[in-house]
Amino acid sequence: MSKNKTSAQKRHEQSEVRRMRNRAVKSRCHTSAKKFLAALQQKDQNLAQEAFRALQSELDNAKRKGVIKSNACSRKKSRMAILLNKTFAAKTVAN
C-alpha cells in the first residue's frame, strides 16, 4: 500500500470511532427526551421536572462535545420547556 492509502484508511477508522461516539451521545439525548415525554403523558409534575433537568443536561453535554450545534440545543430545550409549562399551567389554573 502506498502512503496515501494507509493515511486514508487511518482517517476512515478515526471517523468511524467518532461517528459511533456521536451516535451514542445522540442516543442518550433521544432516550432522555422519551423519558421526559412519558412523564408528561403521566401528568406527573415532579417526575417531568426531573426528566426535563436530565434532558437539559444531556443536550448541553452533546453541545459541549460538538455533536449538536448550539442553536439546535437551545431550540430543543426551548420547545421542551414550552411543553412542560403548557402541560402544568392548565393544572395550576384549574386548582
- Each residue of 57-80: pLDDT tens digit? 999 999 999 999 999 999 999 999
- Each residue of 16-46: pLDDT tens digit? 999 999 999 999 999 999 999 999 999 999 9
- Domain of 76 in residue numbering reads as 3-94
53-60: list long-range contacts, CB under 8 Å, 24+ apart: 55/29, 55/80, 58/28, 58/29, 58/32, 59/29, 59/32
Task: Determine the 3-state secondary structure of 43 from DSSP.
Answer: coil
Predicted pLDDT of residue 92: 57
> The CATH number of the domain where 23 resides is what?
1.20.58.110
pTM for the model stands at 0.83
Residue 9 CA, distance from chain mean position: 31
Asked whether the predicted pLDDT for residue 91 surpasses 80, the reply is: no
CA angle at 12 for the pair 8 and 14, rounded to the nearest 5°: 115
Predicted pLDDT of residue 43: 92
Query: Based on the structure, what is the number of domains in the chain?
Result: 1
Predicted pLDDT of residue 1: 46
- Residue 69: phi and psi, rounded to 5, are -80, 160
Predicted pLDDT of residue 89: 85
Distances (CA, A) of 4 to 20, 29, 67: 24, 37, 28
